[in-house]
Protein backbone atom coordinates (compact mmCIF):
# COMPACT_ATOMS: atom_id res chain seq x y z
CA UNK A 1 0.00 0.00 0.00
CA UNK A 2 1.39 3.41 -0.91
CA UNK A 3 2.10 5.70 2.01
CA UNK A 4 0.41 8.65 0.28
CA UNK A 5 -2.95 6.86 0.61
CA UNK A 6 -2.46 6.16 4.33
CA UNK A 7 -3.64 8.90 6.70
CA UNK A 8 -3.19 7.01 9.97
CA UNK A 9 -1.68 3.85 11.38
CA UNK A 10 -3.90 0.74 11.53
CA UNK A 11 -5.15 -0.61 14.84
CA UNK A 12 -2.64 -3.53 14.78
CA UNK A 13 0.19 -1.08 14.04
CA UNK A 14 -0.84 1.14 16.93
CA UNK A 15 -1.18 -1.80 19.34
CA UNK A 16 2.23 -3.18 18.45
CA UNK A 17 3.80 0.31 18.70
CA UNK A 18 2.56 0.80 22.26
CA UNK A 19 3.25 -2.79 23.34
CA UNK A 20 6.81 -2.57 22.02
CA UNK A 21 7.26 0.82 23.67
CA UNK A 22 6.22 -0.62 27.03
CA UNK A 23 8.42 -3.71 26.67
CA UNK A 24 11.46 -1.71 25.54
CA UNK A 25 11.10 0.82 28.37
CA UNK A 26 10.67 -2.06 30.83
CA UNK A 27 13.88 -3.70 29.66
CA UNK A 28 15.80 -0.43 29.59
CA UNK A 29 14.76 0.37 33.15
CA UNK A 30 15.07 -3.13 34.61
CA UNK A 31 18.35 -4.47 33.24
CA UNK A 32 20.06 -4.64 36.65
CA UNK A 33 19.46 -8.36 37.17
CA UNK A 34 21.05 -9.17 33.82
CA UNK A 35 24.08 -7.05 34.67
CA UNK A 36 24.27 -8.64 38.13
CA UNK A 37 24.06 -12.12 36.62
CA UNK A 38 26.86 -11.41 34.16
CA UNK A 39 29.10 -10.04 36.93
CA UNK A 40 28.41 -13.08 39.12
CA UNK A 41 29.22 -15.47 36.29
CA UNK A 42 32.44 -13.59 35.46
CA UNK A 43 33.50 -13.89 39.12
CA UNK A 44 32.66 -17.60 39.20
CA UNK A 45 29.76 -17.17 41.63
CA UNK A 46 26.51 -19.10 41.47
CA UNK A 47 23.55 -16.80 40.83
CA UNK A 48 20.53 -17.02 43.09
CA UNK A 49 17.22 -18.25 41.68
CA UNK A 50 15.84 -14.69 41.95
CA UNK A 51 18.69 -13.26 39.86
CA UNK A 52 18.26 -16.04 37.27
CA UNK A 53 14.51 -15.47 37.10
CA UNK A 54 14.92 -11.72 36.67
CA UNK A 55 17.59 -12.19 34.01
CA UNK A 56 15.36 -14.65 32.17
CA UNK A 57 12.47 -12.18 32.24
CA UNK A 58 14.77 -9.57 30.67
CA UNK A 59 15.77 -12.09 27.97
CA UNK A 60 12.18 -13.17 27.29
CA UNK A 61 11.01 -9.57 26.99
CA UNK A 62 13.84 -8.98 24.50
CA UNK A 63 12.74 -12.01 22.48
CA UNK A 64 9.16 -10.69 22.52
CA UNK A 65 10.41 -7.34 21.21
CA UNK A 66 12.26 -9.11 18.40
CA UNK A 67 9.16 -11.13 17.43
CA UNK A 68 6.96 -8.03 17.53
CA UNK A 69 9.54 -6.17 15.41
CA UNK A 70 9.11 -8.78 12.67
CA UNK A 71 5.32 -8.40 12.78
CA UNK A 72 5.63 -4.61 12.92
CA UNK A 73 7.87 -4.55 9.86
CA UNK A 74 5.48 -6.81 7.95
CA UNK A 75 2.56 -4.55 8.89
CA UNK A 76 4.48 -1.49 7.74
CA UNK A 77 5.08 -3.13 4.35
CA UNK A 78 1.47 -4.29 3.98
CA UNK A 79 -0.42 -1.39 5.61
CA UNK A 80 1.96 1.46 4.82
CA UNK A 81 2.64 4.53 6.90
CA UNK A 82 1.31 8.07 6.71
CA UNK A 83 3.40 10.72 4.99
CA UNK A 84 4.95 13.48 7.06
CA UNK A 85 2.69 16.50 7.47
CA UNK A 86 3.12 19.24 4.86
CA UNK A 87 3.95 21.69 7.67
CA UNK A 88 7.06 19.74 8.63
CA UNK A 89 10.25 21.32 7.27
CA UNK A 90 12.36 19.24 4.85
CA UNK A 91 15.11 18.77 7.43
CA UNK A 92 12.50 17.52 9.91
CA UNK A 93 11.22 15.02 7.35
CA UNK A 94 14.74 13.75 6.77
CA UNK A 95 15.41 13.53 10.52
CA UNK A 96 12.17 11.57 10.98
CA UNK A 97 13.13 9.08 8.25
CA UNK A 98 16.60 8.59 9.75
CA UNK A 99 15.19 8.24 13.28
CA UNK A 100 12.51 5.75 12.27
CA UNK A 101 15.00 3.72 10.23
CA UNK A 102 17.34 3.65 13.21
CA UNK A 103 14.51 2.59 15.50
CA UNK A 104 13.66 -0.32 13.20
CA UNK A 105 17.33 -1.34 13.08
CA UNK A 106 17.55 -1.20 16.88
CA UNK A 107 14.39 -3.29 17.23
CA UNK A 108 16.47 -6.09 15.72
CA UNK A 109 20.04 -5.24 16.77
CA UNK A 110 19.27 -4.75 20.45
CA UNK A 111 17.58 -8.11 21.15
CA UNK A 112 19.97 -10.00 18.86
CA UNK A 113 23.05 -8.54 20.56
CA UNK A 114 21.51 -9.31 23.96
CA UNK A 115 20.78 -12.89 22.92
CA UNK A 116 24.32 -13.32 21.56
CA UNK A 117 25.65 -12.15 24.92
CA UNK A 118 23.25 -14.12 27.13
CA UNK A 119 22.84 -17.35 25.21
CA UNK A 120 26.08 -17.28 23.20
CA UNK A 121 28.43 -15.87 25.81
CA UNK A 122 29.78 -13.27 23.39
CA UNK A 123 31.10 -10.53 25.67
CA UNK A 124 31.57 -7.99 22.88
CA UNK A 125 27.88 -8.28 22.00
CA UNK A 126 27.00 -7.72 25.66
CA UNK A 127 29.22 -4.66 25.85
CA UNK A 128 27.61 -3.18 22.75
CA UNK A 129 24.13 -4.14 23.93
CA UNK A 130 24.45 -2.57 27.37
CA UNK A 131 26.55 0.37 26.21
CA UNK A 132 26.27 2.28 22.92
CA UNK A 133 23.18 0.46 21.62
CA UNK A 134 21.30 1.08 24.87
CA UNK A 135 22.39 4.73 24.87
CA UNK A 136 21.29 5.18 21.26
CA UNK A 137 17.88 3.68 22.08
CA UNK A 138 17.44 6.12 25.00
CA UNK A 139 18.49 9.08 22.83
CA UNK A 140 16.06 8.09 20.08
CA UNK A 141 13.21 7.66 22.55
CA UNK A 142 13.84 11.14 23.98
CA UNK A 143 14.13 12.66 20.48
CA UNK A 144 10.96 10.83 19.39
CA UNK A 145 8.94 12.17 22.31
CA UNK A 146 10.39 15.64 21.72
CA UNK A 147 9.43 15.51 18.04
CA UNK A 148 5.87 14.49 18.89
CA UNK A 149 5.63 17.44 21.30
CA UNK A 150 6.96 19.84 18.65
CA UNK A 151 4.40 18.53 16.16
CA UNK A 152 1.60 18.86 18.70
CA UNK A 153 2.38 22.24 20.23
CA UNK A 154 4.59 24.12 17.75
CA UNK A 155 3.52 22.99 14.29
CA UNK A 156 -0.01 22.01 15.47
CA UNK A 157 -0.06 18.87 13.34
CA UNK A 158 -2.05 15.71 14.19
CA UNK A 159 0.99 13.39 14.27
CA UNK A 160 0.25 12.13 17.79
CA UNK A 161 -3.34 11.28 16.87
CA UNK A 162 -2.15 9.01 14.05
CA UNK A 163 -0.67 6.68 16.68
CA UNK A 164 -3.38 7.11 19.32
CA UNK A 165 -6.81 7.67 17.79
CA UNK A 166 -6.22 6.66 14.19
DSSP 13-39: HHHHHHHHHHHHHHHHHS-HHHHHHHH
Q: From CA 100, how far away is CA 92, in angstroms rounded?
A: 12
Give the CA dihedral 66, 69, 74, 78, nearest 10 degrees. Answer: 170
Q: What is the pLDDT of residue 87?
A: 84
Q: Where are the alpha helices (DSSP H) in 4-133?
A: 11-29, 32-42, 49-79, 90-118, 123-128
Helix, strand and coil in the chain, % to nearest 5: 80, 0, 20
pLDDT score of 145 more than 60: yes
Q: From CA 93, how far away is CA 89, in angstroms rounded?
A: 6
Q: What is the pLDDT of residue 1?
A: 44
Mean pLDDT of the chain: 94
Q: What is the pLDDT of residue 9?
A: 94
Greater confidence (33 vs 63) lies with 63
Stretch 12-20: mean pLDDT, rounded?
98
Q: From CA 133, how far away is CA 81, in angstroms rounded?
A: 26
Find the length of the chain.
Answer: 166
pLDDT score of 4 more than 60: no
Amino acid sequence: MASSLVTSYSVPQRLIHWLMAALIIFNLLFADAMEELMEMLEEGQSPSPDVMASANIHAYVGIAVLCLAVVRLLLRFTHGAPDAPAEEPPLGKLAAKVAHGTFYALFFVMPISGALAYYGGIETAGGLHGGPIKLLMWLLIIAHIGAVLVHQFVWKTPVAQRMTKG
